[in-house]
Amino acid sequence: MSPLFKTVAVLGASYGGSSAARVLAQGLPKGWRVVLIDRNTHMNHLYAFPRYSVLPGHEHKAFIPYSGFFSSETQEPSPHAILHAHVTSISPHALTLSRAFPEHGIKEPGRTLDFQYLVYALGSHLPAPIDLWNPANTPAGTKAEGIQWFKRCQTRFAHANSILVVGGGALGIQYASDIAEAYPGKRVTLLHSRTKLLPRFDDAMHTEIVSGLTALNVDVILGDRLDLSSVSAGKTVRIGAGGEERVVRTESGREIHAELVLLCTGQKPNTELLTTLSPDVIVPEGPPREWLG
Ligand SMILES: Cc1cc2nc3c(=O)[nH]c(=O)nc-3n(C[C@H](O)[C@H](O)[C@H](O)COP(=O)(O)OP(=O)(O)OC[C@H]3O[C@@H](n4cnc5c(N)ncnc54)[C@H](O)[C@@H]3O)c2cc1C
């Protein structure tokens, strides 16, 4: 099929890539096809990852099948395709994949897809507590692997009596409140480097969140930053019944003991594949602060 078609390759079939692919598939002229590529077999609804990693019984809902994604209303077969593979490299008019798809003209040994246009929608690397897309956690990117990973997270939360959540952004606040609500007996601490939670929002938001967390018995520590060297140092203390707590330190010297430490300190753009294609488009220090409002 492929030599007969011109190709728009869309990398990443999450919120951004899947929307772009749908719009393109509806608007491209005859003779063009969209090839949408993702490491995952299902669209992952990542907004719900933190909650599903704490609360058992809902994890299957995080995985939305791509079946019928390009279904055509006409009798003709759709020229578009969605491929389950890792993109491993990109050059100006070709990319390579982790698997071959001979039926779409992507053959061994090169596993190369030629394209006329490319949409780069590979998003961000996920923060450690919800890092489902790390090949070590879900090497094949399947729903079954994802469900097992969520269940392992749920077991860890069920067994830990003390949890330190580092970072008072949306992810950290959600983790602290969900864990405290699901497990009222656990000691939950939220550590945030600034004096205000969600600093880009109104003061009233901060006040409301602190009052909600306090009602859930979450210990909120503001204006103190985790000393990351104390995390890598790996110090632990023994607690009853053969258990063990990690000992970490803040920059002000405060020691915090917790069986689990969740680093909710932000996401990094997934731009590695662009660095070889077009290094000039990467801004290593991120966007200027004034763009962020
Ligand atoms: C916990 C949490 C809650 C959130 N809640 C909200 C919310 O309520 N409302 C809101 O508007 N936003 C929310 N966000 C932000 C939102 O999730 C992001 O803005 C959104 O995910 C960005 O979508 P994207 O398509 O650009 O990239 P991503 O969602 O990051 O998707 C990237 C895709 O690329 C794929 N991929 C990556 N590398 C490769 C590769 N080499 N080969 C093949 N495939 C690859 C991944 O599998 C993934 O499907 C939340 C984020 C988090 C972490």
- For residue 39 and ligand 1, the question of a CB distance below 6 A is answered with yes
- For residue 17 and ligand 1, the question of a CB distance below 6 A is answered with yes
Which residue's CA lies nearest to atom 46 of ligand 1?
A: 12
Which residue's CA lies nearest to atom 35 of ligand 1?
A: 12
Kindly state which CATH superfamily the domain 128-263 is placed in. Answer: FAD/NAD(P)-binding domain (3.50.50.60)
- For residue 19 and ligand 1, the question of a CB distance below 6 A is answered with no
Q: Name 197's Cβ contacts closer than 8 Å, sequence gap at least 6.
A: 168, 173, 205, 206, 209, 210, 220, 222
* pLDDT at residue 75 in the model: 64
| Residue ranges of domains in the chain | 2-124+268-292, 128-263
Judge if 2-124+268-292 and 128-263 fold alike in CATH terms.
yes
* pLDDT at residue 243 in the model: 87
- For residue 82 and ligand 1, the question of a CB distance below 6 A is answered with no
- Write out the chain's pLDDT in tens, 293 residues: 456 899 999 999 999 999 999 999 999 999 999 999 999 999 999 999 999 999 999 999 999 999 989 987 666 789 999 999 999 999 999 999 999 999 999 999 999 999 999 999 999 999 999 999 999 999 999 999 999 999 999 999 999 999 999 999 999 999 999 999 999 999 999 999 999 999 889 999 999 999 999 999 999 999 999 999 999 998 999 988 788 999 999 999 999 999 999 999 988 999 999 998 888 988 888 777 777 65
- Residues 161, 179, 177, CA angle at the centre, nearest 5°? 135
Q: Sign of dihedral through CA atoms 19, 20, 25, 29? A: positive
The hierarchical CATH code for the domain 2-124+268-292 is 3.50.50.100
Most ligand 1 atoms within 8 A of CB, residue of 19, 22, 39 to mutate? 39
